[in-house]
Every structure is written in structure tokens, then in C-alpha cells.
Amino acid sequence: MYLSVRPRRLRRNETLRRLTRETRVSVDNLVLPLFVREEAHACKAITSMPGQYQWGLAEVADAAARAADTGIPAVLLFGIPAHKDAEGSSAWKRDSVVCRAVEAIKQRSPGLCVITDVCLCEYTDHGHCGLLHQNRDGITDVNNDATVEVLVKEALAHAGAGADIVAPSDMMDGRVFALRDALDANSHAEVAIMAYSAKFASAFYGPFREAAESPPRFGDRRSYQMDPANGNEALREIALDIEEGADIVMVKPALCYLDIIRRAADEFNIPLAAYNVSGEYAMIKAAAAQGWLDERRTVLELTTSIRRAGASIIITYWAMDLAGWLQE
Ligand code: PBG
């Protein structure tokens, strides 16, 4: 035998594999998304996302407490309001569904980090992420600067209710700076911003739009979310959000965009989050239900890949399962 270099020497048994393992996923990396409705009791299963629910306001604190008990450090809240209108007015009321959920969760689990999604798509009757106007081509489009003003009101309401981190997911230009400025001016300097910085116009959000009851009634989100073809632009979006004051930046979705996560991790020194989105969840759940994939192994592999690509924070609907699997 002429081989002296044998990488398999270190794969011989689990002790050696454990010793030489480069990447680990920990429960400390995980954020659990939660959907909350205005009714007290809902517990409505989301059919396209098996194992996920729309919680009622009386239930969401329990769901969050179960996450806290497993060691998950943070939850990310999405609200489903009883009333939708063109302005998304249910988003920024101080007694909004998200504000009430934050208060209930904080009361029950004071040590849990509560992150709120700041966007209008769940609150507008047209389902777009902001206020509409006609652009210069005569096309109905989201009005950037008018939307930013409303997002500021929404983020201030969430901060007032006790949110630790606000997470703008709308992709309007300049919203991170506007949020930082307003939070600081309203004695919320300690509230952090996790920016959905490189958010792509992705087919993988399909199931979420059922979960949050937020599909656009017309058109799509390509005038504000990013073109999946653009990596350099993603880095520029991230750089802008850092300049504007983001504390954490995000790449979303995760699996088709591991290259963006790696580039962002190499280029910037700031906590980096990746959103393992609803479509990534649904496709693996569907295959696992058929017996075509081993769900546990698949999910451990994909979350390890997200960590290896360079993200430290993983937002995933599997957070509860992972907390159990990682303890085994
Ligand atoms: C928008 C928002 C979306 C998601 C998170 N925030 C949907 C969209 O942009 O259409 C998607 C999350 C997922 O698919 O899991 N507020």
C-alpha cells in the first residue's frame, strides 16, 4: 500500500469523530417563530407546516414557556390581527395582538428574549408589506418612505410592550436608520434591531403566507425583496443595514443562500442570523411523512450546514425538536 495520508483514521469511531468535529449546533443558536391570533384560544394547526400552530393570546405564553424550558433563548413573534385594512392600522396600536403577546410572554418567562417581526403584510388587506401608491411607471407599488413611518410606529409599540429585539422584514430602504433613531428618541436605546437584510423574493415563503394569512392579493414582492440571482447586492444590503445601526443582520432563506451566509460571515463582524423558512420546513416534513427522508438526520445536517456556512443564529420551526435531539 502506497498511501500514508488516510483521512479515514480520524473517522474510525465516534470518539475520534467527536474530537475532530469542526462545527456544532447548540440550542443556544436557536430562535423559535410563533404565530399568534387575537382570539384567546385558537391552537389552530397550520396544514402546510405540520407541527406548527397559530396560538391564541391565552396560549402563546405557554408555548413560549415550553421553548424557554428546553433552553431555547429566543422566540420570534408574528401577529395575525382580527382586522385588516389598507394602512395596516392593527400593526401599530399599543394593544395590538403582538404587543399583548409580548406582555403575556414577558410576564410568564421574563428571561426569554422576545423578538417581534416588524412588517405590514399580516395587517394590510392587500397583503403587501407596506402602504401602496402608483410608481412612475403607473404600477401599483409599495411606497417606501410612507411605509417606513408606519414601521416606526409599529416598532415603538412593540418596544413599549417589552420586546427585546425588533426585526424589520419589509425590505424598505432606510428603515433600520429610522427605527434606530425613533427607538433612541423614545427611551428604547436598549432595544436591539435584527434586520432582515438580505431577504430574497423566494418561492420558499409559500407555507408562511398560509401560516400568517398574508399572501399578496395581487402582484408579488419583487419590487422590494431581492432578486435570488444577486449575491453582491446582498452584501451591499447587509453593509447598509450595519451602517444604519442594525445589531444583528439576517440572510433569508437559508438553504439556497448558504453562499451569501458564508460571504457575509467573512466580510462582516456582526452577529449573523439565517432564517430556515417555511418552505424549507414543509418540503422536508412532506418527504419525511412519506418515509423518504429521516427527519432528525436531515434537520441536524441542514442546521449544521447553516452553522458551517457562518451563521450563529438559526431561526427555525424545528427549534423545539432540535432542543430534544441535541440533548440525546
Ligand atoms: C414578511 C415575512 C415573511 C416571512 C417572514 N416575514 C413572508 C414574506 O415575505 O412573504 C417568511 C418566513 C417563512 O417563510 O418562514 N413579514
Q: Is 219 exposed, middle or buried (0-12, 13-18, 19+ CB in 10 A)?
A: middle
Q: Per residue in 119-174, pLDDT tens?
A: 999 999 999 999 999 999 999 999 999 999 999 999 999 999 999 999 999 999 99
Q: Cα(208) to centroid of ligand 1, in Å?
A: 6
C-alpha to C-alpha distance for 122 and 234, rounded to whole angstroms: 25
Angle, vertex CA 198, rays to CA 323 and CA 234, nearest 5: 135
pTM (2 decimals)? 0.97
Which tens digit of pLDDT belongs to each residue from 281-296? 999 999 999 999 999 9
Q: What is the mean pLDDT of residues 300-325?
A: 98
The mean-pLDDT minimum among 115-119, 212-216, 295-299 falls in: 212-216
Q: Is ligand 1 within 6 A of the CB of residue 280?
A: no
Q: Is 277 in the pocket of ligand 1 (CB under 6 A)?
A: yes
Give the CA distances from residue 132 to residues 111, 144, 214, 250, in Å, rounded to whole numbers and listed in that order: 39, 9, 16, 26
295 C-alpha vs ligand 1 centroid, how far in Å?
23
Measured by CA distance, the residue closest to atom 10 of ligand 1 is: 205
Q: Looking at ligand 1, which residue's alpha carbon is closest to its atom 2?
A: 169
Q: CA 306 to CA 243: how far, in whole Å?
A: 25
Assess whether the C-beta atom of 316 lies below 6 angstroms from ligand 1: no
Q: Is the CB of 276 under 6 A from ligand 1?
A: no
Q: Which grid cell is 283?
A: 418540503
| Four-way CATH pick for 25-327: 3.20.20.70, 3.40.1670.10, 3.40.640.10, 3.40.50.300 | 3.20.20.70
C-alpha cell at 72: 431555547
Which set of grid coordinates corresponds to residue 212? 400568517
Does the beta carbon of 119 sit less than 6 angstroms from any atom of ligand 1? yes
Q: Is 106 a catalytic residue?
A: no
In the predicted model, what is the mean pLDDT of the chain?
97
**Rounded to whole angstroms, how far apart are CA atoms 305 and 231?**
19
**In the prediction, which pLDDT does 1 show?**
65
pLDDT score of 317: 98
Of 84, 106, 153, 199, the catalytic one is: 199
Indicate which atom in ligand 1 lies nearest the CA of residue 215: 10
- pLDDT, average across residues 88-93: 97
The span from the CA of 166 to the CA of 158, in Å, is 7
Instruction: Reply yes or no on whether 93 is catalytic.
Output: no
Specify the pLDDT at position 2.
72
Angle at 174 between CA 191 and CA 74, to 5 degrees: 30
Gap from CA of 117 to ligand 1 centroid (Å): 9
Band the pLDDT of 255: cuts 50, 70, 90.
very high
- Grid look-up 401602496 returns 132
3-state secondary structure of 198: strand
Whether the upstream peptide bond of residue 253 has omega within 30° of 0, thus cis, is: yes
Angle at 166 between CA 145 and CA 222, to 5 degrees: 45
325: its cell numbers: 435531539
pLDDT at 328: 85
What lies within 8 Å, CB to CB, of 216 at 6+ separation is 121, 126, 127, 128
Atom 14, ligand 1: residue with shortest CA distance: 205
Asked whether the beta carbons of 60 and 105 are under 8 A apart, the reply is: yes
From 205, 220, 251, the mutation candidate for ligand 1 (largest count of ligand atoms within 8 A of CB) is 205
Distance 69 CA to ligand 1 centre (A): 26
Cell (9 digits) for 103: 406582555
